[in-house]
C-alpha cells in the first residue's frame, strides 16, 4: 500500500501528467489502465522535452516499473516509436511491462475511425482518429487482437482474418490500402511482436506483488470523467472509462487496493472535439485563455475550446470518483482576468435551476450556466511556492472551489515547470512522503 489513482475531473487535458510525474518519483510502479494514444503529455526534464502517448511518464526515472495495463489499447507502431525515441536519447526502458491481455489497435481500426467520423458528417464526435473506438468495439465483440497473439504467427493470422472479414464492406473507401492486406498485416504485426516481446508480462501479478509487499502504485488515468463512456456526455465521449473505478478492471487489482483518488482539474475548463460545454467562452476572453494557457492538443494539435470553471461538472466528477483530493492546475493563467466567473448551477431551457449535472443529454444541451462572480487577481503567481504567497483573491478562489466541489484542494499548479506547484496542508505532504 498505498494505491493512488489519478483521474481527470473535467474533459481531459487537465495536467494529470504533472501530478503523476511528481508522485511517480517516489512510487514503485506507475500503471496506465485505459485509453490509448488518444492521450498525450509532455514532460520537460533538465531542459529536454519528452512527449508520451502510451508509455507512463515514470519511465524517465531510472529503474521504475512502468506498466501498460490490460485496459489500454495499444497501437504497436506508436509504442515502438516511443521506445526508439527513448533509446536514441540513451534512456533505458527496461522497466516497461506490457499486459499480455491488452488489445491492439490494427490498421483497420484507424481507418474505421476516420470513415465513421466522415459518415457522421455534421454529427461527428471529433475523435482523435487513432482507432480507439473501433478497437474497444472489437474487444467487446470478441474480435480483438491481443498483445499475446503477437507471439504466435498462426493464431495471429487466424484472428486477423476473422476480424478483417466483417469490416470489408465498411472499409470500401480503403479497399486498396496496402496495410489492409492480410499477409502484409500479419507480417507487420509479427515484427512488432519481436520488438515488444521482452516487455510482455502478467502485469496484474506485478501489481499484486508491489501492493502486497507495501509498495506504492500510481494508477495514471487518461482523458477525463466527462469523457467517460458510461458517465460522460455520451455520445461525445471516448470509448473507455476514465473514472477511478476503471483502474481496478484496467489494471487487474481489487477495489481494496485503492487508498486515494486524486482528481485533476484546471482552474478553468477546456474541451477538445464536439459536445456540450455549458461554460464555453466562444469570444475574445475564451481566445485569450487559449492563447495564455497554450491550449492546443498534444496529440492532434487541435485548438481546445475554453471556458469558465464549471463546479456543477466538478461536483459530478467528485461524486463519480469519490475524490479524496483535488489538484487545481494552471491557476496562473487566470492572472489579470477580473472578475472571475465560476458556474455554480445550470438553468435548463425550461427555466428550472439545476444544482446537479443533468442525467438527460437533451437537458444538458440546452443548459445555461449560472455564475458566481469572484474577484480576480492581478499579480503573476508563477513564483509562489506556499499558499501564503498567493494573492488573497487567488486563495479565496481555491477555497470557493474546495467548498463547492466538496473536496479539498491539495495541490495547485502555478506554471508549466515541474517545481511550479504549491502543496496545500499536511495531508498532501503525507501523500508525497508515502509515495
Ligand atoms: P477518441 O478517444 O479518439 O475516440 O475521441 C473521443 C472524444 O474524446 C473526442 O472528443 C476527443 O477529442 C476526446 N479525447 C480523447 N482523448 C483525449 C485526451 O487525451 N484529451 C482530451 N480529449 C480527448
| d(C-alpha 422, C-alpha 41), whole Å | 21
Confidence of residue 226 (pLDDT cuts 50, 70, 90): very high
| d(C-alpha 179, C-alpha 183), whole Å | 9
Between 150 and 58, the more confident residue is 150
Output the residue whose Cα is nearest ligand 1's atom 11.
Answer: 127
Look at residue 44 and tell me whether its pLDDT is greater than 80: no
Stretch 240-245: mean pLDDT, rounded?
98
pLDDT at 435: 55
C-alpha cell at 327: 489538484
Say what the pTM is. Answer: 0.95
pLDDT at 212: 96
Whether residue 160 contacts residue 106, with contact meaning beta carbons closer than 8 Å, is answered with: yes
pLDDT > 70 fraction of the chain, expressed in percent and rounded: 97
Confidence of residue 48 (pLDDT cuts 50, 70, 90): confident
Output the residue whose Cα is nearest ligand 1's atom 21.
Answer: 12
Stretch 70-87: mean pLDDT, rounded?
96
Strands (E), 202-339: 217-220, 260-266, 269-271, 305-307, 309-310, 325-329
Question: Which residues are bridge partners to 346 per DSSP?
Answer: 354, 369
pLDDT at 43: 80
| Chain CA centroid to CA 171, Å | 29
Question: Which residues are bridge partners to 305 per DSSP?
Answer: 271
Residue 21 known to be catalytic: no
Q: Which of 21, 28, 41, 332 is catalytic?
A: 41
Stretch 275-298: mean pLDDT, rounded?
95
3-class SS shares of the chain: helix, strand, coil, % to 5: 40, 20, 40
| Chain CA centroid to CA 331, Å | 20
Check pocket membership of 225 for ligand 1, CB cut-off 6 A. Answer: no
Check pocket membership of 408 for ligand 1, CB cut-off 6 A. Answer: no
pLDDT > 90 fraction of the chain, expressed in percent and rounded: 85
Distance 127 CA to ligand 1 centre (A): 6
pLDDT tens digit string along 364-410? 999 999 999 999 999 999 999 999 999 999 999 999 999 999 999 99
pLDDT at 397: 98
pLDDT at 189: 98
pLDDT at 428: 56
| d(C-alpha 185, C-alpha 167), whole Å | 15
Confidence of residue 432 (pLDDT cuts 50, 70, 90): low
Cα radius of gyration (the chain): 22
Domains of the chain: 3-86+203-434 (3.90.170.10), 103-198 (1.10.300.10)
Whether residue 21 contacts residue 59, with contact meaning beta carbons closer than 8 Å, is answered with: no
Stretch 234-248: mean pLDDT, rounded?
98
Q: What is the mean pLDDT of the chain?
A: 94
Confidence of residue 300 (pLDDT cuts 50, 70, 90): confident
- For cell 437533451, what's the residue? 362
pLDDT at 333: 98
Check pocket membership of 125 for ligand 1, CB cut-off 6 A. Answer: yes
Pocket test of ligand 1: the residue of 17, 34, 38 to mutate, having most ligand atoms within 8 Å of its CB, is: 38
Distance 273 CA to ligand 1 centre (A): 7
Residue 13 known to be catalytic: yes
pLDDT at 142: 97
- According to the per-residue pLDDT averaged within each range, which of 13-22, 49-58, 280-289 is highest? 280-289
Question: Which residues are bridge partners to 7 per DSSP?
Answer: 263
Nearest Cα neighbor of 50 from 8, 7, 91 is: 91
Distance 223 CA to ligand 1 centre (A): 7
pLDDT at 169: 82
Stretch 34-42: mean pLDDT, rounded?
92
Stretch 139-160: mean pLDDT, rounded?
97
Look at residue 426 and tell me whether its pLDDT is greater than 70: no
Stretch 164-181: mean pLDDT, rounded?
86
Whether residue 264 contacts residue 19, with contact meaning beta carbons closer than 8 Å, is answered with: yes
pLDDT at 59: 92
Distance 335 CA to ligand 1 centre (A): 28
Which numbered atom of ligand 1 lies nearest the CA of 127?
5
Confidence of residue 429 (pLDDT cuts 50, 70, 90): low
pLDDT at 335: 98
pLDDT at 13: 94
pLDDT at 49: 82
Distance 35 CA to ligand 1 centre (A): 9
Confidence of residue 225 (pLDDT cuts 50, 70, 90): very high
Output the residue whose Cα is nearest ligand 1's atom 2.
Answer: 238
Residue 199's SS3 state is helix
pLDDT at 350: 95
Residues found in the chain: 435
Amino acid at each position: 500500500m498505498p494505491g493512488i489513482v489519478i483521474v481527470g475531473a473535467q474533459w481531459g487535458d487537465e495536467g494529470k501528467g504533472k501530478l503523476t510525474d511528481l508522485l511517480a518519483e517516489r512510487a514503485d510502479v506507475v500503471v496506465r489502465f485505459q485509453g490509448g494514444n488518444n492521450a498525450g503529455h509532455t514532460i520537460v526534464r533538465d531542459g529536454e522535452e519528452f512527449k508520451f502517448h502510451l508509455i507512463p511518464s515514470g519511465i524517465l526515472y531510472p529503474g521504475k516499473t512502468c506498466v501498460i495495463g490490460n485496459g489500454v489499447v495499444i497501437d504497436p507502431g506508436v509504442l515502438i516509436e516511443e521506445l526508439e525515441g527513448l533509446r536514441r536519447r540513451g534512456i533505458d526502458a527496461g522497466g516497461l511491462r506490457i499486459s499480455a491481455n491488452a488489445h491492439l489497435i490494427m490498421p483497420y481500426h484507424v481507418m474505421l475511425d476516420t470513415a465513421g467520423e466522415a459518415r457522421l458528417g455534421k454529427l461527428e464526435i471529433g475523435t482523435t482518429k487513432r482507432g480507439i473506438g473501433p478497437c474497444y468495439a472489437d474487444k467487446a465483440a470478441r474480435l480483438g487482437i491481443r498483445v499475446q497473439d503477437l507471439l504466435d504467427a498462426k493464431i495471429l493470422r487466424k484472428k486477423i482474418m476473422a476480424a478483417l472479414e466483417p469490416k470489408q464492406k465498411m472499409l470500401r473507401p480503403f479497399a486498396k490500402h496496402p496495410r489492409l492486406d492480410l499477409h502484409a498485416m500479419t507480417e507487420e504485426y509479427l515484427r512488432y511482436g519481436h520488438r515488444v516481446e521482452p516487455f510482455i508480462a502478467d502485469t496484474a501479478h506485478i501489481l499484486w506483488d508491489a501492493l502486497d509487499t507495501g509498495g506504492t502504485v500510481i494508477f495514471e488515468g487518461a482523458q477525463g470523467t466527462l469523457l467517460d463512456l458510461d458517465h460522460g456526455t455520451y455520445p461525445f465521449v471516448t470509448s473507455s472509462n476514465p473514472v477511478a473505478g476503471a483502474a481496478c478492471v484496467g489494471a487487474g487489482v481489487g477495489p481494496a487496493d485503492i487508498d486515494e483518488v486524486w482528481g485533476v482539474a484546471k482552474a478553468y475548463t477546456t474541451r477538445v472535439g464536439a459536445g456540450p460545454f455549458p461554460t464555453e467562452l466562444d469570444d475574445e476572453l475564451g481566445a485569450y485563455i487559449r492563447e495564455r494557457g497554450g491550449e492546443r492538443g498534444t496529440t492532434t494539435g487541435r485548438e481546445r475550446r475554453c471556458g469558465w470553471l464549471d463546479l456543477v461538472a466538478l461536483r459530478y466528477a467528485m461524486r463519480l470518483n469519490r475524490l479524496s483530493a483535488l489538484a487545481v492546475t494552471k491557476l496562473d493563467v487566470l492572472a489579470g482576468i477580473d472578475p472571475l466567473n465560476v458556474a455554480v448551477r445550470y438553468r435548463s431551457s425550461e427555466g428550472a435551476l439545476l444544482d446537479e449535472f443533468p442525467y438527460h443529454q437533451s437537458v444538458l444541451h440546452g443548459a445555461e450556466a449560472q455564475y458566481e462572480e469572484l474577484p480576480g487577481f492581478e499579480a503573476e503567481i508563477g513564483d509562489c511556492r506556499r499558499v501564503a504567497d498567493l494573492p488573497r483573491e487567488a486563495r479565496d478562489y481555491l477555497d470557493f472551489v474546495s467548498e463547492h466541489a466538496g473536496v479539498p484542494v491539495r495541490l495547485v499548479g502555478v506554471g508549466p515547470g515541474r517545481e511550479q506547484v504549491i502543496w496545500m496542508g499536511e495531508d498532501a505532504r503525507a501523500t508525497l512522503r508515502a509515495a
